[in-house]
């Protein structure tokens, strides 16, 4: 039974108190009306616990806003949730429509830097994040005494005479919950083996990110480049925004709990506020920590992934890449959670 507003109530108890469950929890469909996001579909979800988030149906069912009790935990780039028509695949042009948000999915043919591999040019972080949802479904329903909010869709990265990859996504939360669960199944719909890459580009921002905030993760890790290697000792500590500071990327090999799950947290002791990412390590063996303490571009990325950061060619040569046989599938589990720092 859900615990909400200091009470643990059954379905019957709740239904006696409200005319419609949307009064306290639900999913509302809407669309944007301005700028490059005009007519893009959004699903706004609220759980009654203080957690609210919005899903971009025309951008891989990714998460734009993520708030708890009115306090944002997601970084917004300032570009806005541009519709897929504005996506640019070449080089680093992905940055021109990178809205940030709580989650931007990267892959499936490339994730990481732009590169050429086996005669094909791959842009930064790949194409799947600009894929609109197909077979979009959403609803809220009772499962026993639990009121479950669920959104499902399929996104595809396919081409004639080329690969056919599908991402089947289910996003689930519950009445009274502070957690969002993302369950993805990646399917090779073709008739040959396919390599694939996936990064869950989770982007935490102010106010959970601020001077004195701290990253907590039980792991061994290394710096991606010379700049990151020089910052290893201070990798977990956050500063106020600084002018002209470069980004740093750290690659973590996180330890698991008894259930095979890893977790990483960003906590702000001053606010008593925290954000947690949980992921299943079996399919997502690494996490990239993207530390960017620059002005405006002030963000801490906590990014479970199945690949190395150099792009497809580097990942293929190092073996840090996924592979699916014809009609093969792999499932990923990632959870995003608002927490008290005492949790």
Helix, strand, coil share (%) of the chain residues, nearest 5: 10, 50, 40
Contact call for residues 261 and 181 (beta carbons, < 8 A): no
DSSP conformation class of 97? G
Predicted model pTM: 0.97
Domains identified in the chain and CATH numbers: 3-340 (2.70.98.10)
DSSP conformation class of 61? T
Quickly tell me which residue has 């891989």 as its tokens.
60
Of 335, 284, 330, the C-alpha closest to 103 is 335
Token pair of 146 as six digits:
């639990």
> How confident is the model at residue 115, as a pLDDT?
95
Distances (CA, A) of 142 to 10, 45, 149, 172, 179: 11, 16, 9, 13, 18
Spatial distance between the Cα atoms of 315 and 208, rounded to a whole number of angstroms = 32
- Bridge partner list, 276: 265, 337
Quickly tell me which residue has 């599938």 as its tokens.
329
Cα Rg of the chain, angstroms: 20
Burial class (CB in 10 A: 0-12, 13-18, 19+), 148: middle
> How confident is the model at residue 343, as a pLDDT?
53
Contact call for residues 64 and 56 (beta carbons, < 8 A): yes
Could you report the average pLDDT of every consecutive run of 10 residues in the chain (343 residues)?
86 94 96 91 96 98 97 95 92 95 97 94 96 97 96 95 95 97 98 97 98 98 95 97 96 97 97 96 97 97 93 92 96 96 67
- Bridge partner list, 52: 46, 67
Spatial distance between the Cα atoms of 84 and 82, rounded to a whole number of angstroms = 7
């Amino acid at each position: 039974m859900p615990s909400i507003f200091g009470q643990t109530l059954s379905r019957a108890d709740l239904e006696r108190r409200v005319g419609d469950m949307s009064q306290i929890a639900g999913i509302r469909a809407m669309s944007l009306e301005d700028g490059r996001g005009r007519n893009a579909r959004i699903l706004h979800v609220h759980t009654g616990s203080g957690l609210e988030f919005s899903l971009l149906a025309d951008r891989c069912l990714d998460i734009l806003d993520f708030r708890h009790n009115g306090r944002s935990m997601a970084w917004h780039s300032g570009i806005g949730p541009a519709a897929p028509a504005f996506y640019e695949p070449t080089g680093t042009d992905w940055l021109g429509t990178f809205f940030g948000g709580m989650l931007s999915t990267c892959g499936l043919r490339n994730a990481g830097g732009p590169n050429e591999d086996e005669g094909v040019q791959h842009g930064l972080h790949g194409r799947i994040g600009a894929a609109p949802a197909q077979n979009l479904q959403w609803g809220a329903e009772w499962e026993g005494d639990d009121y479950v909010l669920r959104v499902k869709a399929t996104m595809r990265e396919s081409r004639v005479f080329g690969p056919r990859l599908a991402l089947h996504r289910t996003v689930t939360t519950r009445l009274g919950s502070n957690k969002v669960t993302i369950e993805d199944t990646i399917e090779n719909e073709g008739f040959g083996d396919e390599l694939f890459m996936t990064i869950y580009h989770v982007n935490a921002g102010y106010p959970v990110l601020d001077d004195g905030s701290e990253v907590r993760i039980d792991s061994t890790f290394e710096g991606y480049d010379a700049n990151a290697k020089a910052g290893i000792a201070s990798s977990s500590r956050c500063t106020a925004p600084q002018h002209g500071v470069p980004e740093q990327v750290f690659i973590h090999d996180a330890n698991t709990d008894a259930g095979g799950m890893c977790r990483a947290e960003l906590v702000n002791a001053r606010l008593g506020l925290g954000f947690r990412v949980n992921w299943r390590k079996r399919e997502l063996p690494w996490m990239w920590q993207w530390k960017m303490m620059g002005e405006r571009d002030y963000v801490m990325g906590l990014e479970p992934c199945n690949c190395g950061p150099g792009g497809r060619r580097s990942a293929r040569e190092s073996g840090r890449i996924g592979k699916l046989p014809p009609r093969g599938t792999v499932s990923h589990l990632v959870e995003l959670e608002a927490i008290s720092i005492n949790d």
